[in-house]
Structure 1
Amino acid sequence: MKNVLKKFSIAMSSLIMMLAFSITVFAASTPSIGENAPTTGSISITKDGAVFNAYQVLKATQNGDAYEYTATDVFKGFFNNSQYGNYTENQIKDLTTADSIKEFAAQLHKYVIDNKISNGIEIQSGEKVSVDLGYYLVLETS
C-alpha cells in the first residue's frame, strides 16, 4: 500500500509540474498604424563640413494598418535589373547584415551615377530636412 501511495504521489507531482511548465505564452502583437499615421519624417546628419544628397528609393503608402513600399519613378529601373544585383522591392526588408546592406547601397549608388539622377535632396551637416516616408539612399557629396 505504501508503494502504491508513493507511486501515486510521484505521478501527481509529475503531472502538476508538466501543467505548470506548459503555460501558454503569447508574443505582444505588432503595433499597427492608425488612420492619422504620419506621412512625413525627417533626416538629420551631422559631420563637420559635409554635404549629403538623399534619394527616395521607395515611397511608403499607408494601406490599412500598415505601410506598403513601392519604387519611386526614378528607381523603378533599378529593381529586377541584373546589372544592379537583381534586387526586388520586397527583398529590401531581408537585408539584415552590414555586408548585404553595404552591397545594396553600392548598387544603388552605381545606379544613381549611371543614370545621372540629380533629384536628390541636399542636406547640410546638422540640418534637419522634412521628407516623405520611405527608404532613402543618402550619399556624401562633399
Structure 2
Amino acid sequence: MTLKNKSTRSLLLGNPNIIIRDGVMDRKLLTKNKLDVNQVLSILRQNNVFSVREVKYGILEANGQISLLLKSKYQKPDLNLPESPVDLPTSLIIDGEILWDNLHELGFDQQWLDNQLTTNGYDNVKRILYADWREREGIHVSPK
C-alpha cells in the first residue's frame, strides 16, 4: 500500500531534506530533524568530507543517512594527477559561539575574526550557524 500511495509513503517513511546547499547548512531543517552542527560535522568526517564548504548538496534521507554530492573541485578524478596539499579545516564558530581555543591556536584574535566576518557580510556572530578556517581557502561561513 505504501508503494502505491505517495502521501501514505511520505507520512510513514518521511521525505528527504536538503540540509546542506552550496556549503551552507539549513538551520531550520537541522532543528526540524533534531540535528545539531556537531552531529552534521561528525557525519561529514565519517564520509571523508572535512569541511561543509566541500558539499554541493547534503541530503538527509528518510532512513536517517546523509547522502553527499561534493562540489566539482572537491571530487577526486582518477586521472593520475598529482595530489594537491590538504589542509584540515578548523572550526571557529558553532551555533553563534566563538571557539576561542581554536581561534587562538591559529594565531588569530577577535579583531581578525571581526574583520573576516565583516568582509563576508556578517556583523554579528550570533547570526552564524557555523564558520571554519582552512589555510589555502580562508574562512567559510554558514549563516543561521
TM-score (normalised: structure 2): 0.30
Larger radius of gyration: 1
Which of structures 1 and 2 has the larger relative contact order (alpha carbons within 8 angstroms, sep 6+)?
1
